[in-house]
Structures are given as C-alpha cells and as structure tokens.
C-alpha cells in the first residue's frame, strides 16, 4: 500500500543520509595524486564499509528482508521485500574528489521497485520516489524536460570498464554524436538517470549496467515522466538501459538498435 511505501522510503532516506555522510567524510580524506599504492583500494574499502553499514541498518529494523549489494553476497529473508544497494555509484568521480557520485537504495516488493533514494551528498541532492507517488529532489517535485527531437537532445551516456566493450561503445558514439545536440559523460549512472528526471538532460543510455546501478534511479526517472527500459520493450537490463520522455525514447531506441548498442565488439587478438 501507499502507506507501506512511504514507511519504507522513510527508512531508506535515513539510512542513505547516514551512509552519504560517512562516504563524504571518507572522500575528503583521499588525495588521489598523492596515493602511491593502488588508489582503487581506497574506494573498494569505502564501498565495502558503506555497504556493510547499510546492510546492518536495514536488517536491524527489518530482519526478515533481503539485501542485494554491489559488494557482497545476497542475504535472503522471507518477507518479500528486497533492498538493492549501490554504496557508491560513480567511484571514479569519488576517487578524484569530484561531486557526482551517489549512495543508491532501491526497495523492492515482490520484485517491483516501490521506493527509491539516490543521495548525492556533495551536491546536497537527495532524490526520492515511491511507485505511483512521484519523484522529488530535496522535497521538490521532478518533471522530465519536454520531449524534443533527437537532433535537439542533450544525451548522457557512460562506458564500461573493459577495452572490448569500450571499443564498441566508441563505435556507437561515432554515429550518435553527430545526430544529437551534445553528449555528456557524467560518471554516475544513477546521477545521470536523475538528471533526466530533473530535465537537466533529455535522455540517457548505457550498456552494461547492473541492477544496483539503475534500481533506485530508474524509479525516480519513471516517476518524473521518463520511459525507462531496454531494447524491444524489455525492462532496464545489463544489455542496454535507455531513459527519456516518450517519443524521444523511441527515436533513440531505434537508432541504438540499428547500431548494435546492446552488443560488445569483436574479441581482441
């Protein structure tokens, strides 16, 4: 019910706020240029610590729920409620002292996301949504930008970590870039999706996302009026995730289908 959704959201907001505070304090202590050991270790450690904090807080209040996190194995409770957690989305931004990273918590009931929080503490942005209840940033209602034709669209995207996938993503971008107003690569899939929700970009697409990357932010974009999905009517998935107002969604979708944006390039060697 709507009441349950708001109750779950309230818990998620409290936990995301605390997690965001801890992560932001951690970020302030990183000096990437001065780090001689592999700097990614610092982020991995913080990722683990923040996820552990979220897991503990969730299970303390709701011991029969399940928690799926980026960093760890799934814990399975019997309540039918599952918390999908990305402790820090946008880890490279985090490492470089940049602003666009976020703590993401999606709450699913019977497999459907019913409440979502994306907390971007350095920006001071707290995005929230409940299924059917709208999307908000710091309490202000969000609406996507009015649909524009693709050639007038500001389009955000992101890239995977493997060279093979990136080669194909560059190939796709070669065709997309001359056909749109411009491209943004923000560095956090969750913040990018919230950007669509807020009308700061017209559309977003990316191959290779995981459920914790899109879970929370997809509901926020949807509740702000975006269509969010994969190719050929599929829900968001690792093959491809697209978000845009209806109309622009289809135009971008058809272009991406034709370009094989849901595939990786040929194997190297």
Residue 192 assigned ligand-binding role? no
Query: For residues 264 and 111, what is the distance between their CA atoms, to the nearest angstrom?
Result: 28
Q: Does 96 bind ligand IPD (CB under 6 A)?
A: no
CB 236 within 8 A of CB 147: no
Please identify which residue in 160, 199, 247, 265 interacts with ligand IPD, judged by CB under 6 A. Answer: 160
Site string for ligand IPD, 35-64 (x = CB under 6 A): ------------------------------
Residue 25 assigned ligand-binding role? no
Closest CA to 120 of 71, 159, 86: 86
Q: Does 159 bind ligand IPD (CB under 6 A)?
A: yes
Minimum CB distance to ligand IPD smaller for 27 or for 91: 91
Minimum CB distance to ligand IPD smaller for 209 or for 221: 209
Q: How many CB atoms lie within 10 A of CB 181?
A: 14
Minimum CB distance to ligand IPD smaller for 99 or for 213: 213
Q: Does 91 bind ligand IPD (CB under 6 A)?
A: yes
Minimum CB distance to ligand IPD smaller for 11 or for 209: 209
Q: Does 27 bind ligand IPD (CB under 6 A)?
A: no
Residue 125 assigned ligand-binding role? no
Minimum CB distance to ligand IPD smaller for 123 or for 143: 123
Dihedral, CA atoms, 47, 49, 51, 55, nearest 10 degrees?
A: 170
Query: How many residues line the site for ligand IPD (CB under 6 A)?
Result: 14
**DSSP of the chain:** -HHHHHHHHHHHHHHHHHHHHHHHHHHHT--TTT--S-THHHHHHHHHHHHHHHHHHHHHH-TTSEEEESSSPPB--SSSEEEEEEEEE-HHHHHTT-S--EEEEEEEETTEEEEEEEEETTTTEEEEEETTTEEEETTEEP-PPPP--GGG-EEEE---SSHHHHHHHHHHHHHHGGGSSEEE--S-HHHHHHHHHTTSSSEEEESS--HHHHHHHHHHHHHTT-EEE-GGGPPS-SS-EEEE-TTHHHHHHHHHHHHTTTS--PPP-
Q: CB under 6 A: which stretch of 21-29, 152-160, 219-227, 261-269 binds ligand IPD?
A: 152-160
Q: Does 236 bind ligand IPD (CB under 6 A)?
A: no
Q: CB under 6 A: which stretch of 89-97, 126-134, 217-225, 246-254 binds ligand IPD?
A: 89-97
Site string for ligand IPD, 174-213 (x = CB under 6 A): -------------xxx----------------x-xx---x
Which positions from 248 through 267 interact with ligand IPD, judged by CB under 6 A? none
Binding residues for Mg(2+): 70, 86, 88-89, 213
Q: Which chain residues interact with ligand IPD by CB under 6 A?
A: 86, 89-91, 158-160, 187-189, 206, 208-209, 213
């Amino acid at each position: 019910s709507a009441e349950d959704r708001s109750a779950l959201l309230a818990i998620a907001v409290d936990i995301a706020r605390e997690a965001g505070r801890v992560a932001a304090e951690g970020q302030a202590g990183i000096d990437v240029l001065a780090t001689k050991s592999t700097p990614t270790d610092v982020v991995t450690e913080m990722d683990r610590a923040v996820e552990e904090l979220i897991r503990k807080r969730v299970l303390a209040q709701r011991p029969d729920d399940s928690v799926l996190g980026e960093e760890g194995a799934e814990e399975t409770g019997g309540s039918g409620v599952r918390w999908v957690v990305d402790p820090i989305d946008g880890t490279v931004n985090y490492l470089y002292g940049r602003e666009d990273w976020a703590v993401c918590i999606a709450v699913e009931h019977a497999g459907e996301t019913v409440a979502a929080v994306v907390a971007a503490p350095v920006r001071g942005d707290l995005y929230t949504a409940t299924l059917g209840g709208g999307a908000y940033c710091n309490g202000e209602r969000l609406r996507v930008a009015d649909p524009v034709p693709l050639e007038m669209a500001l389009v955000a995207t992101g890239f995977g970590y493997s060279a093979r996938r990136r080669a194909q993503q560059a190939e796709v971008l070669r065709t997309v870039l001359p056909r749109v107003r411009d491209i943004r690569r923000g560095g956090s899939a969750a913040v990018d999706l919230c950007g669509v929700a807020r009308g700061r970009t017209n559309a977003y697409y990316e191959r290779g996302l995981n459920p914790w990357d899109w879970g929370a932010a997809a509901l926020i974009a949807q509740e702000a009026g975006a269509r969010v999905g994969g190719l050929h009517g599929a829900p968001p998935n690792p093959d491809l995730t697209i978000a845009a107002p209806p109309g622009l969604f289809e135009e971008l979708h058809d272009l991406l289908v034709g370009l094989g944006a849901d595939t990786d390039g040929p194997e190297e060697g």
